[in-house]
Amino acid sequence: MTNSFDDIPFFGDEDEPAARKPQAPGERPQAAAGGLGIAARAMAARGGQREAPDYLSGLNPEQREAVEKTDGPVLVLAGAGTGKTRVLTTRIAHILATGKAFPSQILAVTFTNKAAREMKERIGMLVGGAVEGMPWLGTFHSIGVKLLRRHAELAGLRSNFTILDTDDVVRLIKQLIQAEGLDDKRWPAKQFAGMIDTWKNKGLLPADIPEGDARAFANGKGRELYAAYQARLRTLNACDFGDLLLHPIAIFRKTPDLLKEYHQRFRYILVDEYQDTNTAQYMWLRLLAQRPQGVPQNVCCVGDDDQSIYGWRGAEVDNILRFEKDFHGAKVIKLERNYRSTEHILGTAGHLIAHNEGRLGKTLFTDRVNPDDEKVMVHAAWDSEEEARAIGEEIERLQRGDGIPGSEGKKHALNDMAILVRASFQMREFEDRFVTLGLNYRVIGGPRFYERLEIRDAMAYFRLVCQPADDLAFERIINTPKRGLGDTTIRYLHDYARARDIPMLQAAADIVETDELKPKPRKALFDVVQSFRNWSQRLESTPHLDLAEQILEESGYTDMWKADKSAEAPGRLENLKELIRSMEAFESMRGFLEHVSLVMDAEQNENLDAVSIMTLHSAKGLEFDTVFLPGWEEGLFPHQRALDEGGRSGLEEERRLAYVGITRAKRRCHIWFVSNRRIHGLWQSTMPSRFLDELPQAHVDVAASETNYGGYGGRGGYGQSRFDKADPFANSYSTPGWKRAQANKTDATRDNWGSRSGHSIERIGYGESGPRGRTIDGELVAKSVADVPSQFSVGDRVFHIKFGNGNISAIEGNKLTIDFDRAGQKRVLEGFVERA
């Protein structure tokens, strides 16, 4: 490989000075050593070969191999709690310390900003902070932006393009749907935004989407609408999140020379959470990582197939399973030594996840065994209210320090406890309970700061000041606060701007010079235009914090909330102050906007001691001493919809979710299920989750019933099983999958369920001989979308449990369009019908 960075002008801005020109492989960057805190030590160590540099000590042999095998493709399968982040950061430190690359020659990709931040901090600690940042460490999206800003013109954009968030996208699509003369009620913009997102996750441009998909929306105009959307983005000089990946991919494909330059630049590539990559990210990565034959591909992907829980939003576990094929001669390193959890927790999680097929197969172990370690506990409660009450009590007990074996009297901080739920509606009951108990709690992953109305309004003002062509921002705030610029005026402006292909703010500036508008709106519009002119001028001269404040004051936006008498108004004003405070960390308003468009989360208050409540999904990557896992009931967990829509692979993803949940626990894990839960307002009796049957007896205890209730299908007269009802089908709330399961139930499964319902709670959780066979009704419901040819053909007469008899009029994958005799035309999943 040759080093030709000096010849590439646009790299100049961040490259090391010429004197520190990177070395060819094998050579050492002598000059660079001075800039790297640990480099000298590392090089000294290399001289004496035997003694390892400090940062390598304390790694186990597998971790150490993952760190030291820097050249060639490496796949690190890092189980939960096996020191994954440590390996990644140490590996980067090692590459730097041994002088194999400069910080600017390492591409390190994460999924979330949080992970990126954490990695930066930890590398800083290892390397002694001497390496100021790594320019190419970030999320897929933030690196995508960086690439795209440099080469925007190759994607038909200007480099100051704006990044639209979901809200903007939906509004834009709505406009397009209306412009097409379509009914925006029949074709919801939100749904189409979701479809576009799905396509972009798969790397599909309008020309690439499957015909069926294209026809399924907007009277068959799906493809045209998608294309119109892309065209509109271009004229707006804007990107959505998907474009941040797709544009670079397109650029690299059509400009091989440019790609080559990046190949030379990125000597080492690292990817975190590889199991979560979607097809677009995978394409992006392959472009950057795959090298011509004979050139080493120094790519290291770290992930855990057992923690892949984002399949529903396009993640492809296949990417990790396929790594060895994609990168020839790949070294696969498994990290299985767990530093987080007790053997009971690991044993439980391991036994559960072993029920999945199609995994690479790891078994976590620990040798830190303590006789005081508590087994995983399974508890039953009558209903969700009791579940919340009992968990609340347990939390208070732990907080007081009662009855914690091995740590008598020691208090358990609330910060080290978490309740992990499958669906966010479950949180409410806990919140209600904790409010009455006066127990501090913190909900993680709720509505986010930057998604709040007032924040988005304020941001729209800032956006328009920095980017006068931002029509979406213009439309958002032109009449907020009320200025008497109603629909008619805005529509007129819109049409005027579109006709001349100019931004709306420009259109407004033109129009106020004419007498097209009535005096009132004209005056109002004139004032707004003047204000924006003013603010834009101050952009360079006024400190951005002051300017932000002035904008919100002068526009009347803060006054609007001050005048508002509603309960939330003071909070909103507070949020606006917080917004301005948070701008302090940035150099300019533009810098701030860039950050916010990519970082939608805001920091949480860490000082408060509080129990965390969050979904299982947002718990990935976290750990707690004590974890509560409520709601392990069929239909909720595994979720019925995952079963209906994902079939067996859906079930397996749910099981991985359960695995993620259990492995968050360091010392204590309490699983709960209830016999009755309110779903959509109606009480439903529920069955214990099949996952409970998949837990190993050796590591699990079932709690004795804490009340007279509890337990499932008891003979004591409580907890009626559905089978006791005169007609289990009568309940209109039972789901299609459930009905189907009922309809197709074989004798074997009937026995299975029958026996379960007869067991007392002490038995729940165990079959007669450990874990039972895999799926029960997972197989009875819809088959996976994946390439299963339909067993039906057009014209077939079929029966649907809800809609009755009908004829198939079209088939797309596993979706059938059926003309029902009574119910009319419906699209249903193949799994829900049978031959009539």
Partner DNA sequence: AGTTTAGTGATTTTT
Partner DNA sequence: TCACTAAACT
Q: Which residues are annotated as a binding site for ATP?
A: 78-85
For 651, other C-beta atoms within 10 Å of its C-beta total 26
Is 487 a binder of DNA (CB under 7 A)? yes
Q: Which of 28, 46, 114, 150 binds DNA (CB under 7 A)?
A: 114
Q: Per CB under 7 A, which region of 250-258, 417-425, 705-713, 716-724 contacts DNA? A: 417-425
- Judged by CB, which is closer to DNA: 139, or 366? 139
* Structural contact between residues 38 and 126, judged by C-beta atoms closer than 8 angstroms: yes
* Structural contact between residues 755 and 779, judged by C-beta atoms closer than 8 angstroms: no
| Site of tokens 């030291």 | 68
Is 835 a binder of DNA (CB under 7 A)? no
Is 598 a binder of DNA (CB under 7 A)? yes
CB of 38 to DNA, least distance (A): 29
**β-sheet with 833-835: strand ranges across:** 824-829, 815-820, 804-812, 797-800, 833-835
- Which among 64, 84, 375, 572 is annotated as catalytic? 84
Using alpha carbons, list the distances in angstroms from residue 738 to 259, 629, 635. 52, 24, 8
- Judged by CB, which is closer to DNA: 187, or 532? 187
Is 779 a binder of DNA (CB under 7 A)? no
CB of 125 to DNA, least distance (A): 21
Is 531 a binder of DNA (CB under 7 A)? no
Is 516 a binder of DNA (CB under 7 A)? no
Q: Which of 158, 254, 400, 448 binds DNA (CB under 7 A)?
A: 448
* Structural contact between residues 98 and 298, judged by C-beta atoms closer than 8 angstroms: no
Sign of CA pseudo-dihedral 351, 354, 356, 361: positive
| Pair type for strands 611-615 and 417-421 | parallel
- Judged by CB, which is closer to DNA: 93, or 115? 115
* Structural contact between residues 758 and 713, judged by C-beta atoms closer than 8 angstroms: yes
Measure the CA–CA gap between 73 and 297, rounded to whole angstroms: 6
CB of 597 to DNA, least distance (A): 8
What is the token pair recorded at 61?
Answer: 């042999």
What H or E segment, with its residue span, contains residue 419? strand 417-421
Q: Which of 65, 224, 554, 601 binds DNA (CB under 7 A)?
A: 601
Instruction: Please confirm, yes or no, whether 63 is among the known catalytic residues.
Output: no
* Structural contact between residues 782 and 813, judged by C-beta atoms closer than 8 angstroms: no
Using alpha carbons, list the distances in angstroms from residue 429 to 189, 425, 708, 745. 33, 8, 21, 34
- Judged by CB, which is closer to DNA: 21, or 428? 428
- Judged by CB, which is closer to DNA: 313, or 797? 313
For 170, other C-beta atoms within 10 Å of its C-beta total 18
Measure the CA–CA gap between 694 and 772, rounded to whole angstroms: 7
Measure the CA–CA gap between 548 and 564, rounded to whole angstroms: 21
- Which among 23, 85, 542, 817 is annotated as catalytic? 85
CB of 749 to DNA, least distance (A): 22
Is 743 a binder of DNA (CB under 7 A)? no
Is 142 a binder of DNA (CB under 7 A)? yes
Instruction: Please confirm, yes or no, whether 110 is among the known catalytic residues.
Output: no
Is 725 a binder of DNA (CB under 7 A)? no
Q: Which of 269, 460, 524, 642 binds DNA (CB under 7 A)?
A: 642
Q: Per CB under 7 A, which region of 3-11, 337-345, 597-605, 688-696 contacts DNA? A: 597-605
- Judged by CB, which is closer to DNA: 226, or 241? 241
Is 571 a binder of DNA (CB under 7 A)? no
Measure the CA–CA gap between 263 and 268, rounded to whole angstroms: 10
Q: Which of residues 218-247 bind DNA (CB under 7 A)?
A: 241
* Structural contact between residues 247 and 149, judged by C-beta atoms closer than 8 angstroms: no
Is 423 a binder of DNA (CB under 7 A)? yes
Instruction: Please confirm, yes or no, whether 668 is among the known catalytic residues.
Output: no
Is 654 a binder of DNA (CB under 7 A)? yes
What H or E segment, with its residue span, contains residue 145? helix 140-150
Instruction: Please confirm, yes or no, whether 491 is among the known catalytic residues.
Output: no
Q: Which of 25, 212, 401, 486 binds DNA (CB under 7 A)?
A: 486
Q: Of 766, 756, 769, nearest to 713 (Cα)?
A: 756
Q: Of 263, 603, 554, nearest to 450 (Cα)?
A: 603
- Which among 15, 168, 273, 634 is annotated as catalytic? 273
| Site of tokens 């016999």 | 675
Q: Which of 23, 60, 85, 113 binds DNA (CB under 7 A)?
A: 113
- Judged by CB, which is closer to DNA: 274, or 792? 274
- Which among 165, 168, 243, 272 is annotated as catalytic? 272
At 65 the three-state DSSP class reads helix
CB of 110 to DNA, least distance (A): 8
Measure the CA–CA gap between 729 and 495, rounded to whole angstroms: 54
Q: Of 164, 200, 166, 159, nearest to 283 (Cα)?
A: 200
What is the token pair recorded at 67?
Answer: 């760190």
Q: Per CB under 7 A, which region of 610-618, 740-748, 764-772, 807-815 contacts DNA? A: 610-618
CB of 538 to DNA, least distance (A): 29
Q: Which of 203, 303, 631, 650 binds DNA (CB under 7 A)?
A: 650
- Which among 63, 307, 467, 615 is annotated as catalytic? 307
CB of 613 to DNA, least distance (A): 11
* Structural contact between residues 293 and 117, judged by C-beta atoms closer than 8 angstroms: no
Beta bridge partners of 825: 819
Q: Per CB under 7 A, which region of 112-120, 298-306, 389-397, 550-558 contacts DNA? A: 112-120
* C-alpha count within 13 angstroms, C-beta hemisphere, residue 191: 11
Determine phi and psi for 788, rounding to 5 degrees. -85, 115
- Judged by CB, which is closer to DNA: 421, or 833? 421
Q: Which of 112, 290, 684, 805 binds DNA (CB under 7 A)?
A: 112
What H or E segment, with its residue span, contains residue 596? helix 589-598
Q: Per CB under 7 A, which region of 31-39, 358-366, 419-427, 585-593 contacts DNA? A: 419-427
Instruction: Please confirm, yes or no, whether 2 is among the known catalytic residues.
Output: no
Instruction: Please confirm, yes or no, whether 516 is among the known catalytic residues.
Output: no
Q: Which of 35, 72, 156, 445 binds DNA (CB under 7 A)?
A: 445
Is 141 a binder of DNA (CB under 7 A)? yes
Q: Per CB under 7 A, which region of 109-117, 206-214, 247-255, 580-588 contacts DNA? A: 109-117
- Which among 223, 476, 656, 664 is annotated as catalytic? 664
x/- track of binding to DNA for residues 309-328 (CB under 7 A): ---xx---------------
CB of 139 to DNA, least distance (A): 5
- Judged by CB, which is closer to DNA: 56, or 115? 115
The 8-class DSSP code of residue 635 comes to B
CB of 544 to DNA, least distance (A): 23
Q: Which of residues 33-52 bind DNA (CB under 7 A)?
A: none
Is 645 a binder of DNA (CB under 7 A)? yes
Using alpha carbons, list the distances in angstroms from residue 632 to 189, 404, 655. 35, 25, 11
| Site of tokens 């968030």 | 165
Measure the CA–CA gap between 447 and 601, rounded to whole angstroms: 9
Q: Which of residues 259-318 bind DNA (CB under 7 A)?
A: 312-313
- For DNA (CB under 7 A), the number of binding residues is 43
Is 750 a binder of DNA (CB under 7 A)? no
**β-sheet with 268-271: strand ranges across:** 137-139, 106-110, 268-271, 299-303, 74-78, 331-335
For 683, other C-beta atoms within 10 Å of its C-beta total 12
For 158, other C-beta atoms within 10 Å of its C-beta total 10
Measure the CA–CA gap between 261 and 695, rounded to whole angstroms: 52
At 156 the three-state DSSP class reads coil
Measure the CA–CA gap between 347 and 350, rounded to whole angstroms: 5
Where on the chain is the footprint of DNA (CB under 7 A)? 111-114, 139-142, 165-166, 185, 197, 241, 312-313, 422-425, 445, 448, 482, 484, 486-487, 598-601, 614-615, 617-618, 639, 641-642, 645-646, 650, 654, 678, 680-681
Q: Which residues are catalytic?
A: 84-85, 272-273, 307, 664
